[in-house]
Amino acid sequence: MLKDRFGRVVNYLRISVTDRCDFRCVYCMSEDMQFLPRAQLLTLEEIATVARAFVELGVSKIRLTGGEPLVRHNVLWLCEELGAMPGLKELVLTTNGSQLHKMAGSLKSAGVRRLNVSIDTLDAERFRELTRVGDLDTVLKGIESARAQGFERIKLNCVVLKGRNDHEILDLVEYAAAGGLDISFIEEMPLGRISEHDRARTHMSSEEIRRHIESRHALIPSTESTGGPSRYFRLAGSDSRIGFISPLSHNFCGSCNRVRLTAEGRLLLCLGNEHSLDLRRVVRAHPGDTEALKSAILAAMELKPERHHFDVASDVQILRFMSMTGG
Ligand code: SAM
Ligand code: SF4
């Protein structure tokens, strides 16, 4: 079992398989975001080796994210590799949904068990405005394809920006409930410098979002926990779960069970701190070998910080964008 220096079990690895994305969401990227040179990204084989090292150390859940994981060439190969890895109990993926209409079936066959699909609005024009380039219809079609494949669970992720999409919260809840989907509302995090909007003005706390939903629907608290920043409720009269991801207003660090691998192979010990370890150097020095990686990972557990200190009101403290780390 992998543990950090505070005794917290680390059993969940989130892997950003690419920093590239076909969308440029206003809260996630600046308009002129430059992607990393290809040679700096881990190859899919290197990602698989790093993942194997983690699984050999006791990690049982992996989430593939990005950037947009489904725009990485051959990502299905990686899903199949991970899906067949002994010891890995859960392979899940977070996507913007732009490729799901083509890939949902192959992802399911490769062993991906659950999907998170990001969708912040059900209005096509607003969708284009918030993603800068995305097409709502394609994403809705993708969600339908995923539903037809019968994934164990599909969860929608919605970043709420006051004055931009907060008036759609109830519509999004009802869309999720009608399709038997779960939905989580996410507080915007101050990652990376953006100029499109002022984060202090658009911030809407999970508490406000929850009260708004409760103006129309009863929410039943659930004890379910993923060890992360989410709190879950059940929507009365439906199978849907409503989650609130509150990195700003709810400190979850005490139960944090996760680490993150960036697309360039940096192991991040905390989303809200810069502590990291260069695993690309290790995997390139020992291709295909997990022993050196495992020693490096065990040493890195000593660096995992006790907590983060996010604050929307002050200047941005973490300069990397969410697309670098995958959320
Ligand atoms: N491209 C995929 C997607 O959009 O689902 C996966 C990567 S994306 C970085 C993962 C999640 O992070 C998405 O649900 C997105 O809405 C969320 N996200 C991005 N930037 C964020 C920010 N500044 N604050 C909070 N959530 C953010
Ligand atoms: Fe791309 Fe996801 Fe970031 Fe949007 S949130 S720009 S889809 S990585």
Q: What is the mean pLDDT of residues 77-86?
A: 97
Taking the mean position of all CA atoms in its chain, how far away is CA 322? 9
Which residue, chain included where needed, has tokens 């290790």? 282
Q: What is the mean pLDDT of residues 139-148?
A: 98
7 occurs within a structural domain:
no
pTM: 0.93
Compute the distance from residue 25 Cα to the ligand 2 centre, in Å. Answer: 5
6 occurs within a structural domain:
no
* Average pLDDT, rounded, for the chain: 90
What pLDDT is attached to residue 208?
A: 95
66 in contact with ligand 2, CB cutoff 6 A:
yes
Q: Please spell the DSSP secondary structure of 104-158, one letter per residue.
A: HHHHHHHT--EEEEE---S-HHHHHHHHSS--HHHHHHHHHHHHHHT-SEEEEEE
Query: How far apart are alpha carbons 228 and 12 in whole angstroms?
Result: 10
The count of domains in the chain is 1
What pLDDT is attached to residue 68?
A: 97
Query: How far apart are alpha carbons 208 and 280 in whole angstroms?
Result: 42
1 occurs within a structural domain:
no
Decide: 136 and 120 in contact? Cβ < 8 Å.
no
33 occurs within a structural domain:
yes
The ligand 1 site (C-beta within 6 Å) comprises: 21, 27-28, 65-66, 68, 94-96, 118, 157, 159, 186, 188-189, 191, 322-323, 326-327
71 occurs within a structural domain:
yes
Task: Kindly report, residue by residue over 165-223, the tens digit of the pLDDT.
Answer: 999 999 999 999 999 999 999 998 876 667 777 877 888 999 999 999 999 999 999 98
5 occurs within a structural domain:
no
Question: Strands 61-65 and 258-261, how do they pair?
Answer: unpaired
Query: How far apart are alpha carbons 62 and 47 in whole angstroms?
Result: 12
- Measured CA to CA in angstroms, residue 210 lies from 22, 57, 204, 260 at distances of 31, 38, 10, 28
pLDDT band, residue 321 (cuts 50/70/90) = low
Task: Kindly report which listed range (152-161, 232-241, 272-281) carries the lowest average pLDDT score.
Answer: 272-281
Decide: 42 and 263 in contact? Cβ < 8 Å.
yes
What pLDDT is attached to residue 310?
A: 53
Q: What atom in ligand 2 is closest to the CA of residue 24?
A: 6
Task: Kindly report which listed range (4-13, 96-105, 213-222, 304-313) carries the lowest average pLDDT score.
Answer: 304-313
Query: How far apart are alpha carbons 42 and 20 in whole angstroms?
Result: 13
Task: Kindly report, residue by residue over 86-135, the tens digit of the pLDDT.
Answer: 999 999 999 999 999 999 999 999 999 999 999 999 999 999 999 999 99
Provide the residue range defining the domain that includes 214: 12-325
Query: How far apart are alpha carbons 223 and 233 in whole angstroms?
Result: 8
- Detail the DSSP E strand segments found in 246-324: 258-261, 266-268, 276-278
Decide: 13 and 61 in contact? Cβ < 8 Å.
yes
Task: Kindly report, residue by residue over 38-75, the tens digit of the pLDDT.
Answer: 999 999 999 999 999 999 999 999 999 999 999 999 99
96 in contact with ligand 2, CB cutoff 6 A:
yes
Q: What percent of the chain has pLDDT over 70?
A: 89
Give the CATH number for residue 118. 3.20.20.70
Decide: 153 and 202 in contact? Cβ < 8 Å.
no
Longest dimension (CA), the chain: 57
Task: Kindly report, residue by residue over 225-261, the tens digit of the pLDDT.
Answer: 766 677 899 999 999 999 998 766 556 677 788 899 9
3 occurs within a structural domain:
no
170 occurs within a structural domain:
yes
